[in-house]
Chains A and B, each alone.
Chain A
Amino acid sequence: MKNYLKLVNFEFNRVAKLFVVLLGITLVIQMVGVIVLSKEYLNMANEKIYEDMMTKIEFLENFGKMNFSQIVRSIWFFGPIGLCAAGVGFYIFLIWYRDWVGKNTFIYRLLMLPTTRLNIFYAKITNILILTFGLVAFQLIIMPIEMLVMKGMVPTEFRSDMGLNKIIAVMPELSIIIPRSLIELILYYGAGVLAVAILFTAILMERSFKWKGILVGLLYSAIAVVFMILPLLLQEFVFNGFFYPIELLGIEIVMGVMVLTASVWLSRFLLMKKITV
């Protein structure tokens, strides 16, 4: 346990710089987006009211009030989130391959630590989770600040304010990243951890068996996916909706735990018996 925590900390320190860069990019681009979009709206209002001689009421009827969800829907907001998602996705692979790369093969050191090699696996998966939650948490912190900036720029009569919860609730894309309830958070990110564990297993297969390992890894991933959707397919085509939805959720959770266990067990086996530096 102690070694696991030390490894988690160590791995996080290795990625901290990249992480801060991602946070910085997100903050800057989103903030610029808020300012640009607010400015655009204000310019339009000015143009309509002072040049086209529209009344304020007419303008509001035709163009509506400025709302933070308009900003959320823009590329300014979603671009950085996409970038961060891509970054984490990329890092899922990099977190392993960086240890093999170059003359300074750190994997020697990791594999020779006097602790179970599975701790390396756990530490890396924990780090992916920390990065993801870190980005989500940061997004939750900067959104209210961005709202304040918009409030500062757009006068009250031209904007309709929405709470943070409301905005997330009406944006389906956002509510995947930031689920509305704790249960969903656990289920969504549990599924995410499962997916990462499957990928890690596939990566370790590649590291153990090289080219053949890629095939085996792909096969394993495919089997895992089939295993996960099997209950849904059976429910639809064989059992004709035999299970109540809550039971299906239970079955899916059991399946997920089974696949996760299989992945951890396989990874342990590979790290102990098959891995090669």
Chain B
Amino acid sequence: MKKYWKSIAILVVILLSLGTYYVNAAMSAEHYPEFVIRTLSGDANEIRPLVLDSSYAADTSTRSYTYTSLKINADGSTYNNSSFLDQLIGQPPTLIKSLRKEYPTFMRGKDPFADYFFENKEYLAYADVKYGTLSSRNYKFDIAVLNKKDEKTNSFKVEVPNEKGLENVSVEDVQMVDGVLYLITHNMMRDQEDLHDEKHIYIIDQGNQKISNHEAIIQVPEQQDNLRTDLQFIRTSPTKANDHLFILKTEKKMIEDTESTREEVVGQEVISYNIAMKETEKINVPDLKLDENQLSFADESTIYFMTLDGEELVVTPYSLMDDQVGQAYRIQLSGEDGMAYAYMTTVKAGKLYIVSAQMTPKIGADVIVADAHSGKTLFKGQIALKDASKEKGNFELYMNEMFVD
């Protein structure tokens, strides 16, 4: 046995040392606090369909800390623990995750962005732009449509019509109205020196796998003198069918102060575009002050214009059916120094969901569900540590996305 002692010794050392380390690592890795949504008032069932994609970082006072992603829902929190395999699988948004689960074959090779997808009862559609080489600017739409009934996928590539001065194309929305597929894109056009932003719509002939028609919805110069114009779609549920698109056009003036430049909103209008009819229409909403707060949301036949006023969220429903501005209502949010914290909002099935974007030991995070029309609060709660007494020290929790099933 004498000649074996060295080998035995080193093997024992290796096993003990690595064993201890990994047992320790496995035990300490479990130490993430659990978060819950605590009901303050209302019916807790209202938050059943809600999933918050969040990220958590502990002890942010030290310079080196990492974020761990987690999901928070009515049942509490689940960490996508930062294990190697989980990192490898990636953390797609809840929507993509559920699509992958249901249509694993179709979802192969699809970029995990909710905006690229459209879903209704019969179809699941996807569109993205693929580039050729950088120099040739050879853009192609990569399109795939799954017919849910016969489980057949029509997938094809079609060249983006190369108009003069087309600099860049990106897909912003995929829609289907009466079985016709529409791609709504943001295009950048170069006219000599000037850049133009443009919202463009492409109508896809699925049978022949080509673009049957396309047109610019609206075009604005990117910057002229001191004037800058932004075009932004008013958010809708990413995969939901909409026969109208709503574009928020904001004109900003750059004002040069002595030391800095600031922007001032000089004009703002909402443009409605009927996809099937290809008609553009201006919507007149008096006293629009949407400004920087891109909280507005369109759902079914109503646009909910939302803006923050101090610590309150002001919601103005606008009915498209009768072009009527509804009764505005205010929802109290928590904030600091008369300013509300950052919030996320979404509307689904006539309900307005409001969630704080951030939580720290000092800043509480609200979760509010309200009737979207009347503003009546159905649920009010706060994200909280399940066992606050056990958790000491600093942390940061960010709500990145919300998903309502």
Contact = CB atoms under 8 A, between A and B. Distances in A.
Interface of A: 8-9, 12-13, 16, 19, 69, 130, 133-134, 136-138, 140-141, 160, 162-165, 169-170, 178-185, 187, 239-246, 249
Interface stretch (B3-11, B223-231, B339-347, B388-396): B3-11
B319 to A, nearest CB: 43
Contact of A138 (B13, B64, B85): B13
B25 A136 contact: no
- Determine which residue in A13, A140, A170, A243 has the highest number of CB atoms from chain B within 10 A of its CB, and name it: A140
B25 A165 contact: yes
B83 A69 contact: no
A52 to B, nearest CB: 25
B6 A243 contact: no
Contacts of A141: 13, 17
A137 B7 contact: no
Given A179-B84, A181-B26, A244-B104, 5 more contacts: A12-B10, A13-B6, A19-B10, A181-B84, A246-B88
B180 interface: no
Interface in B1-60: 3-4, 6-7, 10-11, 13-14, 16-18, 20-22, 24-26, 28-29
30 contacts: A9-B3, A9-B7, A12-B6, A16-B6, A130-B11, A130-B14, A137-B16, A138-B17, A140-B17, A140-B18, A140-B20, A141-B17, A162-B62, A163-B28, A164-B24, A165-B25, A165-B28, A169-B66, A170-B64, A178-B21, A181-B22, A182-B26, A184-B84, A185-B22, A187-B84, A242-B109, A244-B89, A244-B100, A244-B104, A249-B85
Contacts of B88: 245-246, 249
A181 B3 contact: no
Most buried by A among B6, B26, B28, B29: B6
* 3 closest Cβ pairs, A-B complex: A137-B17, A170-B64, A241-B109
Interface of B: 3-4, 6-7, 10-11, 13-14, 16-18, 20-22, 24-26, 28-29, 62, 64, 66, 83-85, 88-90, 100, 104, 108-111, 130, 142
Nearest to B107: A244
A140 B109 contact: no
A249 B4 CA distance: 39
A137 B18 contact: yes
A140 B3 CA distance: 26
B7 A13 contact: yes
A12 B16 CA distance: 19
Given A137-B17, A183-B84, A242-B108, A165 B10 contact: no
Contacts of B20: 140
Contacts of A244: 89, 100, 104, 108
Contacts of A140: 17-18, 20-21
A183 B83 contact: yes
B18 A181 contact: no
A141 B10 CA distance: 13
Contacts of A8: 7
Nearest to A166: B64
A242 B108 CA distance: 5
A246 B64 contact: no
Contacts of A182: 22, 26
Contacts of A179: 84
Interface centre among B29, B84, B89, B90 (most CB of A within 10 A): B84
B127 to A, nearest CB: 14
Contact of A245 (B21, B62, B90): B90
